Structure 1
Amino acid sequence: MAMINYSTILFPLLAAIMIYSVSANFHQDVEITWGDGRGQITNNGDLLTLSRQVFWLRIPIKNEYLFGKIDMQIKLVAGNSAGTVTAYYLKSPGSTWDEIDFEFLGNLSGDPYTLHTNVFTQGKGDREQQFKLWFDPTIDFHTYSILWNPQRIIFSVDGTPIREFKNMESQGTLFPKNQPMRMYSSLWNAEDWATRGGLVKTDWSKAPFTASYRGFSEEACVVSNGKSSCSNGSGQGSGSGSWLSQELDSTGQERMRWVQSNYVIYNYCTDAERFPQGLPRECLSA
């Protein structure tokens, strides 16, 4: 996530989240932690809705993963979504947590969303890359994927890789590989920073704000009672664990270069002013 501690968020958000499950059943996979009827699973487990005036809405998936390939189809808040953040991310508990983020920063009607990505290791982030998408993410569902294996993290949109964070521990860069993470989806108010650095505030007359999720699927090493389902070298689901060693081929690298050349609007690795003592090591090796 962006550099925000959920416990410090004080702005209420009137919102609704709808999650549709194609590859999963939310009766089995979602742990609803909201009371007073804020969370309801309907349609035989295919639809989950959250609504009410709350500080933020966060939906955890029950499983914990230590590496995996996670897909989610999302349709973002339409119209004036300024000040809102729709998020889909992996996160471990504790004060020295690991985290892999997709965040979608809302905007005024007609202006494009900002896709914000970040990687945290042992509680330290500051690895933001931001993008403008090449389509309107509010009209239809699009697939956002996280591939996380011991060698790399790859962020993809509709099968197109947009970012790769490699394991460079040999060069002194931390990499998330020891802490199991759960997947969360959330919709929350971040009007103090999300849209144009906080200059544009949330228009509450446009509430409720609605984001829709469906098609959650996982090929992953699921951790239960301290043991990984990949103890024999393959993750659950289809593909026989091939994602555990997956890397970008030449076509994938070319497609990622296209995105990086045309749609990146912020890259921490080019922000020398932010790092006066020198860019992070992984930036120098990229």
Structure 2
Amino acid sequence: MSARISVMFVVVGLFFGFGLMDCCVNAAKFDELFQPSWAFDHFDYEGELLKLKLDRNSGAGFGSKSKYMFGKVTVQIKLVEGDSAGTVTAFYMSSDGPNHNEFDFEFLGNTTGEPYSVQTNIYVNGVGNREQRLNLWFDPTQDFHSYSIFWSQKQVVFLVDDTPIRVHSNMEKHGLPFPKDQPMGVYSSIWNADDWATQGGRVKTDWTHSPFIASYKGFEIDACECPASVTAAENAKKCTSNGSNRFWWDEPTIAELNVHQSHQLVWVKAHHMFYDYCTDAARFPVTPAECEHHRH
């Protein structure tokens, strides 16, 4: 079934606006938006619920049928229960090629009773190493929670249940590149990463607990669809507001966080973040330039 293309009013979480959109996708069924990309036999479908399995033989992953430029992508995930040490469940956007852009959620499993942590990372023109880690303020294995990536020409925002946990702002005026010229696919996967995922690789995957299962529902993409037959430059032009079209992601009201969202982000950083590459002097003796600008 193809994704529904329509002219619509869009209200998306805390980021909202409206405008005519003849380019854009708004759908919420897995098979409208996504397809399995590997290990088809590790997928279980239970109506609107999708489960991905990880065992000794394989993990599993899926990807979007189309690529997009700007908008918001969301999925609801219930993470692996119990002893999930060594496992990683990822939800991310990425373009193609060695100079790709990428926005990552990586959920790092842990031993029973330890908090589940989430690592975010951003690649710009093929360069990553922008990790932040935080402990979630709830048990993500007991119920579904929404994880979203909002992307505009002004900022990239990671959200958990519509609470912003990270913002990467456009700082081109300071000479820093910003990811805004490559269409990106939407992906998710579960795999074994016990060489690094849990306590730096000190805790290994206990396969007696397998299969490890991540459950998904509520797939939503409200974004500008980019046909493969169209050049990146043409897609960027099509997906940017101009005199005749005004896309919700370009509305001035969401060019930056509002006061409430800013307070939420401060709370997350103060109470839940335990690693920020910007303050890792061992890895970065010279503070990365975007960290300096984000402070101001």
- Which segment drifts farther, 52-61 or 195-204? 52-61
Q: What amino acid is the match of 1:116?
A: Q
Q: Is the alpha carbon distance of 1:268 and 1:114 closer, same or farther for their aligned partners in structure 2, counting shifts above 3 Å?
A: same
- CA contact under 8 A between 1:58 and 1:185: conserved in structure 2? yes
Q: Compared with structure 1, are the counterparts of its residues 90 and 232 closer, same or farther at alpha carbon in structure 2 (3 Å cutoff)?
A: closer
Identity rate, percent: 46
Is residue 170 from structure 1 mapped to residue 173 from structure 2 by the alignment?
A: yes
Amino acid at match of 1:283: C
> Aligned to 1:269, which of 247, 264, 278?
278
Which residue matches 2:59?
Answer: 56
Aligned residues: 257
Q: Any runs of at least 4 consecutive aligned residues in structure 1 with deviations exceeding 6 A, and if so which?
A: none
1:31 deviates by 2.1
One-letter identity of the residue aligned with 2:180: K
Q: Distance in 1 between matches of 2:239 and 2:275?
A: 40
Between the aligned partners of 1:229 and 1:85, the Cα distance in structure 2 is 32
Partner of 1:255: 264
Which deviates more, 203-212 or 47-56?
47-56
Cα shift at 1:39: 4.2
Matched residue type, 1:171? H
Give the superposition deviation at 1:29: 1.8
Contact 1:40 1:48 in 2 (8 A): yes
Q: Counterparts of 1:75 and 1:230 in 2: how far apart (Å)?
A: 37
The residue number in structure 2 matching 1:243 is 249
Shift of 1:265: 0.5
* Distance in 1 separating the partners of 2:129 and 2:166: 15
SS of the counterpart of 1:184?
strand
Aligned match of 1:198: 201
Please report how far the alpha carbon of residue 162 of structure 1 lies from its aligned counterpart in structure 2 after TM superposition. 1.0
1:91 pairs with 2:98: no
1:120 aligns with 2:123: yes
Q: CA–CA distance in 2 between the matches of 1:35 and 1:194?
A: 21
Q: 2:78 is matched with which residue?
A: 75
- Where in structure 2 are the equivalents of 1:144-159 lying within 5 Å? 144-159=147-162
Whether the 8 Å CA contact 1:78–1:138 is kept in 2: the answer is yes
Q: Residue type of the partner of 1:65?
A: Y
Q: Secondary structure at the match of 1:257?
A: helix
Q: Using the alignment, how far apart are the partners of 2:218 and 2:34 within structure 1?
A: 13
In structure 1, what is the Cα distance between the partners aligned to 2:194 and 2:217? 26
Q: Compared with structure 1, are the counterparts of its residues 55 and 97 closer, same or farther at alpha carbon in structure 2 (3 Å cutoff)?
A: farther
* 2:31 equivalent among 17, 20, 27: 27
> Is the Cα–Cα contact under 8 Å of residues 34 and 65 in structure 2 kept in the other structure?
yes
Q: CA deviation at 1:170?
A: 2.0
* Distance in 2 of aligned mates of 1:244 and 1:54: 45
In structure 2, what is the equivalent of residue 12 of structure 1?
Answer: none
Matched with 1:109 is: 112
Q: In structure 2, do the counterparts of structure 1 residues 95 and 75 end up closer, same or farther at CA, with 3 Å as the change threshold?
A: same
Q: 2:291 aligns with which of 264, 269, 283?
A: 283
Offset of residue 103 of structure 1: 0.6
- For residue 205 of structure 2, give the secondary structure of its aligned residue in structure 1: coil
What residue is the counterpart of 2:7 in the other structure?
none
Give the aligned partner of residue 10 of structure 2: none
Matching of residues 218-233 of structure 1 within 5 Å:
218-224=221-227, 225-226=229-230, 228=235, 231=238, 233=240
RMSD of equivalent CA atoms: 2.1
Partner of 2:137: 134
Alpha-carbon offset, residue 27 of structure 1: 2.6
In the superposition, the TM-score normalised over structure 1's length comes to: 0.84
1:196-244: per-residue Cα shift (whole Å, max 9, x none)? 000000000000000011111121111012254972746xxxxx73223
Whether the aligned pair in 2 keeps the contact of 1:68 and 1:244 (CA below 8 Å) is: no
Which residue of the partner structure matches residue 189 of structure 1? 192
AA in 2 matched with 1:285: H
- Please state how far the C-alpha of 1:50 moved relative to its aligned partner: 4.3
Amino acid at match of 2:293: S
Q: CA deviation at 1:56?
A: 3.3
**Contact 1:221–1:229, Cα closer than 8 Å, also in 2:** no
